[in-house]
Amino acid sequence: MMTDTECIRATIEAVAGSGRPCLLCGGASCIVACFVPDTPQYRAALGVPAGKARLMFYSVCARCAAAVQADPGRFEPAIVEAFTATRARVH
């Protein structure tokens, strides 16, 4: 069984090697970012069970990564929307 650290490392490597475009602008991505839903609304939207944490990894370009780092709250709704849209396609 993988440890939490091994699981996180494997997930980052999988996202980095996926060739997915930037989650926010659709451009070429070069960074793996992590979103941790920590509000009741985001947790519910993303199906995070009570008492649990979920790390949401995604690909992002350098320009969008800098913008998110400068003002995370501005981009959180778009990140949650992208993950809920992906979740709807999978389920």
Tell me what pLDDT residue 88 has.
54
Q: Rounded to whole angstroms, how far apart are CA atoms 8 and 3? A: 9
Tell me what pLDDT residue 86 has.
66
Q: Rounded to whole angstroms, how far apart are CA atoms 10 and 62? A: 22
Give residue 12's domain range.
Answer: 4-90
Q: How many domains does the chain have?
A: 1
Tell me what pLDDT residue 87 has.
58
Tell me what pLDDT residue 1 has.
87
The pLDDT averaged over each successive group of 10 residues in the chain (91 residues) is 92 92 94 94 93 93 95 92 73 42
Q: Rounded to whole angstroms, how far apart are CA atoms 90 and 88? A: 5
Residue 61: both structure tokens together? 């370009």
Q: Rounded to whole angstroms, how far apart are CA atoms 39 and 35? A: 12
